[in-house]
Amino acid sequence: MGKESIDGGSLSRIHVIVVSSDKNLSEKEFYIDQLFSKKWLLREKGSGTRDVFLKTLGDLAKDINIFMEFSEFEEIKTLLERNPDAITCISKFSVKKELERGELFEVKLKNITFERDFCLVYHKNKYKSKLFNEFSEFAKRYFQNILENS
């Protein structure tokens, strides 16, 4: 299926944050380049979160110490919890529970924010049944509610 066959729309904007298991990093604000010496754990190439992060960094992205790449958020979270020298950029929604439990900590940044769209994608030439339309509306409301409460 080519891109010309794809349609969709944004369900919501997702905040992407920098996270570490080192509580000391959460106690002050950093310029992003002050964190480049950390061991960065990122999603694999092609990940929307990774793309937003690196594109927002622009030319600075070449200076980041990408230590490991993963296909799953769970792998990153597990490694982060065991390695306080590691750091990642991840959607706030993906680490909500770990932040609440004090297992991971948000690292506050100066002069930079990361956001991405969370999208519903579908084949544009397929018939959109009443069920499909109801599901689309449900998904928009559901994710908006979750993200507003995270």
- Residue 105 CA to residue 76 CA, distance in Å, equals 14
Taking alpha carbons only, the member of 54, 38, 97, 102 closest to residue 73 is 97
pLDDT at 21: 96
Q: What is the pLDDT of residues 93-133, one digit of tens each?
A: 889 899 999 999 999 999 988 887 777 777 888 888 999 88
**Taking 70 as the threshold, does the pLDDT of residue 6 lie above it?**
no
Task: Give the global pTM.
Answer: 0.77
Can you tell me whether residue 129 is helix, strand or coil?
Answer: coil
Rg (CA), the chain: 17
Q: Which residue has the higher pLDDT, 126 or 5?
A: 126
**40-97 confidence digits (pLDDT tens):** 999 999 888 899 999 999 999 999 999 999 999 899 999 999 999 999 999 888 898 9
- In degrees, to the nearest 5, what angle opens at C-alpha 34 toward C-alphas 28 and 39? 105
Q: Judge contact between 105 and 19, C-beta under 8 A.
A: yes
pLDDT confidence of residue 144: 76
* 3 state SS of 27: helix
As a whole number of angstroms, the distance between CA 47 and CA 61 comes to 15
Residues near 146 by beta carbon (within 8 Å), at least 6 away in sequence: 93
Is the pLDDT at 13 greater than 90? The verdict is no
